[in-house]
Structure 1
Amino acid sequence: MLSGSNFCRARSLSVDNEALLPITPKANHHPPITNMATDQASQRTFGGTRFRWFARGTAVGMLLVAVVNALSYFVRSSDWGNLIGEAESNDEAIGFPFVVWEAGNTYNGFYADYPMLFLNVLVAVSLGSILGVVVARHRDRLNRLVEDFEIEAAEESKRPIQFSLLGLLIVTTLCAVFVAIAVKVAARPETLLAIYSLGPICLVAIAMLPRRLSWQRRVAIITPSALMLIAVAIAVGIRLGMEFDKVMMGIFLCWTPQSAVAAIALTTTLFIQQARR
């Protein structure tokens, strides 16, 4: 048996040994804190992976082929009066590089030559893929430009929306022109011609005139405005005795080149301006 003094001495030695043992931290059972705002911002960004940029480049290439297909009507057709309800001509055709539709051809009960349409789609995908590869190779630089642009756009969107005096003047002029057309030549070929030729320009002008708007809000302005303008064109075409598909074909043939060129030119201009800063 240990005496009282020996017991106290042994107790003090055990306490000293416990003090020398390494202290292990307690396990933290809480999940790591992540920056949710950063994750959400990265999900909202327009930039992306190599595949996403390849898909975007391919889509742009296919859009350019669609533009050429729309313009092919004005090359392959000798009379364009059918688009505004003035003349009935069978000398009409659409398609690049192969003709997919020709007036007077029944195509065995189908609306178009679908085998040739399939070949045209293959050509569009092939040419678009080439552009997609080029765009994907510059993914890192494009992502940096997009990130800088989105930061500036976020700062601009926090400011109040304003109309400049020039913007108000342009909007007023456009409204006056459309009112004059609606009153004087509502159901005449000139109305359709004005919608075909000036529709995309007016839509882009209306969406771009307000300052400090995000591109999502501008799209929200263009979409219903375009649908309303298409509805007006269909109503005018019906009063002129035109078929529904003929009016829609005119909108496709005239709006596709204008819209595609405007979108590509605007995007390219933004990238060039951002790269120079």
Structure 2
Amino acid sequence: MPNESDSVDRRQQFLAEFGSKPRWFVRGLAVGMLFMASLNALSYFVRSEHWGSLVGKAQPRGESIGFPFEIWESGNMYGGLFADYPMIGINILVAVVVSMPIAILTTMKAGWLNQLMLDSFDGEINEGAGDSETQPIQFSIQSLMIATTVAAVFAMIASRFAARKETLVVIYALGPLCLVLIAMLPRRLSWQQRVVILMPCTFALIAVALVVGQALSIDFDKVLMGIFLCWTPQSAIAAIVLTITVFVQLSRRRSKSATEQTAVI
């Protein structure tokens, strides 16, 4: 009985901290805003005549960004301001309007989403209890091979390209993928522990990009702009796909469990 009572208390605490409707509303809104931020980042590659400034080929004009309305164009001083702030405000309003249906949907489905998360939460507790004494955190052979390969690729890139434009291109194009691989390789880690791994690795990779940019005499803000433009769409796609995959798997697992219970009865 105490164990069952503890389980109920944990579930109630989980719902109080994680599963309220306002929280699901904010999460849905965040998903929509992330999607719109990705479209803004991608708009640079559509609106701009060239992308060379991201790797040091400075051009006075020909670059712009903004979705649905343009918020920045190279060479335009905007009256001494960095960007067109009124248009930024309008784009934010558009993003909020587009995000509202997603936020409303997640709020309406809060009960179903909470149940899926509770099932996963209980599974993690049970798995953690079973693994805590007999199965320490470790890398599998396959994970070690992948980690070694990734490390070898990075070593090759660093030794052959060093402070070259190709290094920035690799960081822009493959940075999020490499970070996800690094965070996902260790087995039997909670998502919180993976975030702990991911955050310092992200800042380290950004620091590497800035150092390479400085060596190539590329402006600090251009390197950060390149990271935003290239990483935001990749991160958004990865986050949305992973989230949908997790919820689909949880839903299937729940349906299978319900079917098995019905068959037993």
Residue in 2 that maps onto 1:186: 162
Asked if residue 125 in structure 1 is aligned to residue 96 in structure 2, the reply is yes
Contact 2:60 2:75 in 1 (8 A): no
Match of 2:107 in 1: 136
209-218 vs 146-155, which deviates more?
146-155
| RMSD, aligned α-carbons | 1.6
Percent of aligned pairs with the same residue?
Answer: 54
Q: What TM-score do you get using the length of structure 2 for normalisation?
A: 0.87
- Within 5 Å, give how 1:1-277 maps onto structure 2: 38-39=8-9, 42-44=12-14, 47-158=18-129, 159=131, 160-277=136-253
For this pair of structures, how many residues does the alignment match? 243
Task: Give the match for residue 5 of structure 1.
Answer: none
Note the alpha carbon deviations across 1:207-259, whole angstroms, 9 max, x for none.
Answer: 11111110000000000000000000000000101110000000000000111
Structure label with greater radius of gyration:
1
The amino acid of 1:88's aligned partner reads Q
Helix, strand or coil: the match of 2:57? coil
- Structure 2 residue runs without a partner (length 5+): 254-265
Structure 1 residue 146, shift from structure 2 partner: 0.4
Q: CA contact under 8 A between 1:196 and 1:251: conserved in structure 2?
A: yes
Structure 2 Cα separation of the partners of residues 124 and 252 of structure 1: 18
Supply the distance in 1 between the matched residues of 2:120 and 2:10 (Cα, whole angstroms): 17
Offset, 1:183? 1.2
Q: Contact 2:11/2:118 (CA < 8 Å) preserved in 1?
A: no
Structure having the larger proportion of residues in helix: 2
Equivalent position amino acid for 1:86 in 2: K
CA distance in 1 between counterparts of 2:7 and 2:227 reads 43
TM-score, with normalisation over the residues of structure 1?
0.84
Name the CA shift for 1:189/1:153 in 2 (closer, same or farther; >3 Å).
Answer: same
In structure 1, list runs of 5 or more residues that go unmatched: 1-34
- Residue range with higher mean Cα deviation, 83-92 or 220-229: 83-92
CA distance in 1, matches of 2:177, 2:83: 30
Structure 2 Cα separation of the partners of residues 120 and 210 of structure 1 = 40
Greater mean deviation of Cα atoms: 217-226 or 121-130: 121-130
- After superposition, the C-alpha distances for 1:98-135 in whole angstroms (9 at most, x for unaligned) are 10111000111111100000000001111111110011
Instruction: Give, in angstroms, the shift of residue 174 of structure 1.
Output: 0.8
1:42 deviates by 3.2
Q: Which amino acid aligns with 1:42?
A: Q
Quick one: higher RCO (CA 8 Å, sep 6+), 1 or 2? Answer: 2
Asked if structure 2 preserves the Cα contact closer than 8 Å seen for 1:61 and 1:127, the reply is yes
Structure 1 residue 157 displacement after superposition: 3.8
